[in-house]
Amino acid sequence: MCTAATYQTRDFYFGRNLDYECSYGEQVVVVPRNFPFALRHGGELARHYAMIGMAHVAGGYPLFYDAVNEKGLCIAGLNFVGNAVYGKPQAGCENIAVFELIPWLLGRCANIAQARAALESLHLTDTPFSPQFPTAQLHWLLAARDGCLTVEATADGLHVYDNPAGVLTNNPPFPMQLFALNNYMQLTPLPPENRFGLPLGQYSRGMGALGLPGDLSSQSRFVRVAFTRQNSRSGEGEEESVSQFFHILGAVEQQNGCCVLEDGSCEHTIYTSCCNADRGIYYYTTYGNRRITAVRLHGENLDGGELKAYPLRLAQSVFYENES
C-alpha cells in the first residue's frame, strides 16, 4: 500500500512512498498553466495553476498519484480499498471523477483554506478514466503551510478531516487511524523512566520507544511514521531537510520479499517522493536507484500548453571514489 507525510523546517515538504507489486510506467510530469483539463461531467480547466508530480500519462492525460502546484498546495492519493464509495453524477453538485480530483483541486486552489471551501460542493463520481483504467479506491492527504486534511468518500458521504498528525496510510478510515495513536502515547525518544519500583536499568539505547510497531500493515505504518515525523530533527537547509524527509519515509519503506501477495508477487516501495512545496522542486528515489533525482517546476515554461514528462531513473547510480 502507501504512506504519505508532511515535514517543515524553513520550507514545507510533502511526499509519499508508493508501495505496490508492479509499476505502471509512472513519470515525473509538469503541467503548465494552459494545459487543458476537460472534465467528464462538463466544463474545462483551461487555465489553472501549474503543477508537478508523479503520474501515468494515458492518452496525453496525466493520471496523478501525487503532486504539488505552484502555490505550494500538495496532494497524494492512497489506496483505501473496501472503504471508498463513490456515486453517480448528481444535479446541483460539482461532479468530479476520482481521477480528476488532483488536477481539479491543484488547478484552482492556492492553499488549504481554499481547498476546504472547494470540497464543500464536491461530489466524487465513480466514472472510470477508461475500460483499461477502472476507478481506484482511494483517500487523500492534502497539505500546505496553512494546514493538513484527509479526504475520504465512504458509504455515508464525503468527509474532510483535519489531520494534526500530518501522515496517512491506508485502512482503516482516518478517524480510527488517528485514535489508535492513543495506544502509543507513552512512547518517547528519551530514555525511559523506571516506575517499576525495582532496581532496573537500561540495557540498550532506544528503550523509550519499546512497543513502536515495525510490521508492514497500514495501521502500524501510520503509528510508526507519525512517531518518526513527530520526533525528527534536522537543520533548516535544503539538503538536510530533504535528506531527513527521505529518512522519515524510510522508516516505513517495504523491502521486496517481505510482503508476499496471494498470487506470489511482492509488494515493495516502488518510489519515494519529496516535494519542496515552497520552491516547486520534486525529488524522488526508486527501489532500484537510491540516488535522489530532482525536477524543478520553475525550470519549465509554465505558460505553455503541453505536458513535460521525465521518465524515472531506475538504474542504480553509484559514485566510485577511486575508479580509474
**Which residues have a catalytic role annotated?**
2
Q: Sort 14 into a burial class: Cβ within 10 Å, 0-12 / 13-18 / 19+.
A: buried
Rounded to 5 degrees, what angle do the CA atoms 48, 56, 111 make?
A: 35
- The Cα–Cα gap between 317 and 28 comes to 18
CB 257 within 8 A of CB 14: no
Q: What is the DSSP letter of 87?
A: B
Q: Does residue 165 sit in helix, strand or coil?
A: coil
Quick one: angle between helices 101-108 and 112-119, nearest 10?
A: 130
- The Cα–Cα gap between 216 and 202 comes to 28
CB 305 within 8 A of CB 46: no
